[in-house]
Amino acid sequence: MKKILEIYKTAKAPVYSFEFFPPKTPEGETKLFEAVEELSKVDPGYITVTYGAGGSTRDKTIRITSELAKKFSLPAAAHFTCVGGNKDEIRVILKQIRESGIENLMALRGDPPKGEEAFKKVEGGFGYASELISFIKQEGFDFCMGAACYPEKHPEAASLESDVDNLKRKVDSGASYLVSQLFFKNSNFESFLDLIRKKGINVPVIPGIMPITSFTQIERFKSMAACEFPEKLVSDLEEVKDNQEEFYKRSISFSVNQCRELVKMGAPGIHLYTLNQSPASLDIVRELKN
């Protein structure tokens, strides 16, 4: 399996990648494989599979990541978090991941288990992604590790500056590239890039983009990611929120233009959050490649 940093180092064009989550049902899993098959038509650089809150999908994440990589001959990264495991347990899981043929990880702190509001460090475990990344390196695992970054700061961070200091610790610990939380204002991403470069963070930073497929998602994204929305985008979509065809057309047009601008700014690729559906991400990448 090709390592993701090498993909970015050797790419002659922007790298388009897709994120999926492990479905809860066999029917959902069938639909996931169908979505990946559709998206494989645009030759993605790699795919990623998330890890459920509280580590609830750990085994499924490993299995699906491995199966998708083999079935579609795609490089793949499994998400891996600090949640719910001490060092000994984490070491065992890392061995399982490596033995399954996976060479890439997205190393994250993770979200609290369902029903809990705050993240709690397990006794003998880790409280930060930087600690997890450092442990993986110290244990001699040769994963290529990505980490998350937040152009508008992590919701729990006291300030953007303190969040960037924490990001520097992730990179210094061994993160090879960064994938951003979703955002909709490129000016915020540009300011963020300028800030982290001044702090000496020089690894590839990949914008994470989420197509909007319904008007109700806007409030959910604001709550989930604390991200700003351009006023014109909101008003344009509100105007046609009951006309699904026109809504989709306007939303995809915004995402395509956002991605084009990011690539012109020097982004090495675009990471699309698919929600296990292919149409929006497929249309965006096809338009970008045209």
Residue 85 pLDDT: 83
Residue 151 one-letter amino acid:
P
Residue 279 pLDDT: 95
Q: What percent of the chain has pLDDT over 70?
A: 95
φ/ψ of 71, rounded to 5, equals -65, -40
Residue 57 has pLDDT above 70, yes or no: no
3-state helix, strand, coil in the chain (%, to 5): 50, 15, 35
Domain boundaries in the chain? Answer: 4-289
Residue 56 has pLDDT above 60, yes or no: no
Rounded Cα distance between 156 and 194, Å, is 22
Residue 87 has pLDDT above 60, yes or no: yes
Residue 117 pLDDT: 67
136-182 pLDDT tens trace: 999 999 999 999 999 999 988 999 999 999 999 999 999 999 999 99
Residue 19 has pLDDT above 60, yes or no: yes
**Contact (Cβ atoms closer than 8 angstroms) between residue 146 and residue 115:** no
Q: Which class is 4-289 in CATH?
A: alpha beta
Structure tokens at 38: 């559709």
Active site residue 238: no
Residue 121 pLDDT: 78
pLDDT band (50, 70, 90) for residue 55? low
pLDDT band (50, 70, 90) for residue 52? low
> Annotated catalytic residue: which of 6, 19, 123, 238?
19
pTM higher than the cut 0.75: yes
Residue with tokens 């793949």: 76
pLDDT, mean over the chain:
93
Residue 42 pLDDT: 97
Instruction: Name, in order, each residue with C-beta under 8 angstroms of 107's C-beta and a sequence gap of 6 or more.
Output: 80, 81, 129, 132, 133, 136, 145, 146, 147, 170, 175
**Contact (Cβ atoms closer than 8 angstroms) between residue 147 and residue 106:** yes
Residue 112 pLDDT: 66
Residue 289 pLDDT: 93
